[in-house]
Amino acid sequence: MNELSIFPIGTSINQSGHLAIAGYDLVELANQYGTPLYIYDGATVKSQIERLNQLLKGYYPGEALLAYASKAYLSFQFARKLARWGIGLDVVSLGEIRIAQKAAFPPSVVHLHGNNKSEAELQAAMDWGIQAIVVDNLEELEILEQMAAQRQQRVRIWLRITPDLSVNTHPHIQTAHAESKFGFHLENGEADDALQHVLSSPWFEVSGLHTHLGSQIFETEPYRMAIEMLCEFSARNNYIPPEISPGGGWGVRYTPTDPDDDAEQWVRTVSGAIQEAAIRYDWPYPRLVLEPGRWLVARAGVAVYRAGSQKTTPTGSRLVAIDGGLADNPRVALYQARYIARVVERPLEAPTQTVRIVGKFCESGDILIPQVNLPPLKRGEHLVVPVAGAYQLSMASNYNYAARPTVLWLEDGEIEVLQQREQPDQSGWLVSE
Ligand SMILES: Cc1ncc(COP(=O)(O)O)c(C=O)c1O
């Protein structure tokens, strides 16, 4: 498989032989904006959104809504674009709610997740009148019911149902197994109790059911099974769900050898399973709410680093250190995510060395790529890591007082700064007097 196929769609090799995105030379961008530098290709995000919307139109006969899982990457500028494009949003915190409000999302397309929502988060969601608060557990149900009664306000909710299914992905990104911290479990009957309770409460409008299996999933069968279980559960409780969300989680290719990641089989399966249930139980088609995060933004983003110190260990490993790592990309340390890298200045040069790319942070586990074949790198040259658009910036930290990086958006011949590099002396997080 061609390596460029996992880079943003606007990637090319320019006349200087450098890697370019949307016509911009990455060496020049790195020199101008500094590194680590994160770059999003607008055309790729738009094309992913269009693809999913088209697939939903083609496969699902009822109404459908694409709701971006904002935990994958969110900033105010990016949220404004999403709102303009008319897609929905899955938020999980007061911070994400505030960004969605400021970006002018209509509340009718925003839903709130979380296994331990604070009263302030529940309150903000109720004040704003969002599409649904996704109730996660019995304690939250009680608190929300009390709050609704106190406010004399009926609240629109979904229930998050955990079908106790294990899927084939890293344990840290599974969410629907019997040990999961998320949702009402089917296996022990708590989901049935919860549904009966909310249906009989005057304070709840139960507008839908939700389940999310996990992330980086390439198999459709768990989705089909989960939807079947969700609908059977609904039917046995005499509940006809106006909305059903099978979550997000469809995988993306981080390396050229990963499985095909086109979303067609995913959308076909979830649409088919919901349609079948609607026919079986004689329901009108529920609104299908898909919640992808990674699939919409991962491929659109790249990370550009500057190569620094290099050494060969006594055991013969060749190490190349870059000026980022664990602080801007904790995915490798969290769940052994795999990446490739290319030399920005010489992407076509044949690799002659196997090296380990390590970060600059004070952890031995700060390894970005355990093994990658590259041409010999000179200090000051740049490495680009593709598929960097999801769960990197949003999980970035200030470890070792690192500043979170600049984020650029390239589209239609224009560069937009989505986020400025943090400045320790300006933003107040280094010293507050
Ligand atoms: C409830 C929920 N929905 C959707 C997503 C998005 O998953 P992905 O980015 O893999 O599509 C997540 C990710 O953790 C999630 O927790």
- pLDDT tens digit string along 53-71? 999 999 999 999 999 999 9
Q: What are the tokens at 265?
A: 């089989």
Is there an atom of ligand 1 within 6 Å of 183 CB? no
| DSSP code of residue 313 | -
Name the percent of the chain in helix, strand, coil, to the closest 5: 35, 25, 40
Q: Which residues pair with 322 in a beta bridge?
A: 307
Q: What confidence score (pLDDT) does residue 199 get?
A: 98
Give the residue numbers marked as catalytic. Answer: 362
Measured in Å, residue 188 CA sits from the centre of ligand 1 at 24
Is there an atom of ligand 1 within 6 Å of 248 CB? yes
Measured in Å, residue 99 CA sits from the centre of ligand 1 at 18
Q: What is the DSSP string of 326-380?
A: TTT-THHHHH------EESS-TTSPP-EEEEEE-SSS-TT-EEEEEEEEPPPPTT
Q: Per-residue confidence at 173, pLDDT binned at 50, 70, 90?
A: low
Tell me the per-residue pLDDT of 322-359, one tens digit each, with 9 for 90 and over: 999 999 999 999 989 999 999 999 999 999 999 999 99
CATH hierarchy code of domain 3-34+300-427: 2.40.37.10
Would you say how long the chain is, in residues? Answer: 433
Q: What confidence score (pLDDT) does residue 433 get?
A: 52
Q: What confidence score (pLDDT) does residue 164 get?
A: 82
Q: What confidence score (pLDDT) does residue 2 get?
A: 79
Q: Whole-angstrom Cα distance, residue 18 to residue 27? A: 7
| DSSP code of residue 188 | T
Q: Which of 173, 175, 266, 291 to mutate to test the pocket of ligand 1 (most atoms within 8 A of CB)?
A: 291
Please identify, in words, the CATH class of the domain defined by 43-296.
alpha beta
Tokens 């309770």 found at: 197
- In the predicted model, what is the mean pLDDT of residues 221-231? 96
- pLDDT higher than threshold 90 for residue 177: no
- 356: which residues sit within 8 A by CB, 6+ positions away? 317, 318, 319, 320, 367, 369, 370, 371, 372
Choice among 17-26, 162-171, 207-216 with the minimum mean pLDDT: 162-171
Q: Per-residue confidence at 4, pLDDT binned at 50, 70, 90?
A: confident
Number of C-alpha atoms within 13 angstroms, CB side, residue 285? 16
Q: What confidence score (pLDDT) does residue 178 get?
A: 76
Name which residue leads in pLDDT, 411 or 428.
Answer: 411
Tell me the per-residue pLDDT of 297-307, one tens digit each, with 9 for 90 and over: 999 999 999 99
- In the predicted model, what is the mean pLDDT of residues 267-279? 98
Is there an atom of ligand 1 within 6 Å of 89 CB? no
Q: Per-residue confidence at 167, pLDDT binned at 50, 70, 90?
A: confident
Closest by alpha carbon to 403, among 28, 80, 49, 38? 38
- In the predicted model, what is the mean pLDDT of residues 201-228? 96
Q: What confidence score (pLDDT) does residue 179 get?
A: 81
Query: Angle 11-12-13 (CA atoms, 0-180°, nearest 5)?
Result: 140
- 364: which residues sit within 8 A by CB, 6+ positions away? none
Measured in Å, residue 291 CA sits from the centre of ligand 1 at 7
Q: Quick one: three-class SS letters along 220-280?
A: CHHHHHHHHHHHHHHHHCCCCCCEEEEECCECCCCCCCCCCCCCHHHHHHHHHHHHHHHHH
Q: Per-residue confidence at 146, pLDDT binned at 50, 70, 90?
A: very high
| DSSP code of residue 17 | S
Q: Quick one: three-class SS letters along 158-178?
A: EEEEECCCCCCCCHHHECCCC
Number of C-alpha atoms within 13 angstroms, CB side, residue 244? 28
Measured in Å, residue 23 CA sits from the centre of ligand 1 at 32
Tell me the per-residue pLDDT of 27-60, one tens digit each, with 9 for 90 and over: 999 999 999 999 999 999 999 999 999 999 999 9
Tokens 């995988």 found at: 251
Q: What confidence score (pLDDT) does residue 129 get?
A: 98
Closest by alpha carbon to 248, among 46, 52, 44? 52
Q: What confidence score (pLDDT) does residue 101 get?
A: 98
Question: What atom in ligand 1 is closest to the CA of residue 217?
Answer: 10
Domain ranges within the chain, ordered by starting residue: 3-34+300-427, 43-296
